[in-house]
Structure 1
């Protein structure tokens, strides 16, 4: 079996993923608050409120704990012939994207990534799109340009 790819995504990805998790958590807190109101105002069963509260607490724990584990598994490496991507927590997914299959490469940056000066790299083939999240802006642009050149060279050789 191949060795794991060498390059890691930026460590600030942990903060970005936690922030995304906390945004989703706000939705569950609001829903739990509405359920609490109806439980006391309209005599709903307290089990509904307890269940909702447990789900909200679990999501809060996951929003804080999961990003660090997720970051540890995210790796990538660029070779002349392929792009090697590894990610996953329980199930480790290792993907090789041949340069000859690359159709186009994009960088993507939403407001949260922009705040942390990060960008995601999307590599599109005819069948699917692969993503390397949370790279520094410079690294994402450099990889995008490098993959574009390597993919063009591979296409010319065929």
Structure 2
């Protein structure tokens, strides 16, 4: 697709985090479909709807458990260059963003309870108009990227 794709890929250990997150989200989906089953019985909706209310959450769960984590692992890439940061993401529609170092205003490293358990962090890079996210980096890798970005920003700012 691209001649020179960004070199850095996500670590395979991020799959465990993605699976856990997707399973938790699937329980919320399941709750919605259980409610729909109850409403189908309560209001005498067509019985064929019950098949849909059963098949859809099972399909969602199986996709979330087996397919989507691997696709996301392959979809996110990034690379730090001397004058810009390149980020590529998107499962089906690929988006490639080049962020000039001189435009970066600040860098944020985010983590929550689940990401902390799996030692994963999300690096967010902010420019004047937008924020760009590099998800699912190992803690060590996220910290190295943050330090590298801050060093690059200092070098570019001192040259001006």
Please give the TM-score of this superposition, normalised by the length of structure 2: 0.88
CA RMSD of aligned residues (A): 1.8
Q: Matched residues in 2 for 1:49 and 1:156: separation?
A: 65
Give the SS at the match of 1:95.
Answer: strand
Equivalent position of 1:56 in the other structure: 57
Structure 2 spans left out of the alignment, 5+ residues: none
SS for the counterpart of 1:44 is coil
Q: Is the 8 A contact 2:78 2:86 kept in 1?
A: yes
How many Å separate the matches in 2 of 1:101 and 1:41? 57
* Pair 1:47-2:34 in alignment: no
Of 123, 127, 132, the match for 1:121: 123
Moved over 4 A (4+): none
- Cα deviation 1:59-110 (Å, max 9, x = unaligned): 2132121110110121111111111111222222111111001000011011
User: Which of 133-142 and 116-125 deviates more?
Assistant: 133-142
Structure 1 unmatched ranges of 5 or more: none
Question: What TM-score comes out, normalization by structure 1 length?
Answer: 0.89
Q: How many residues in Structure 1 have an aligned counterpart in Structure 2?
A: 158
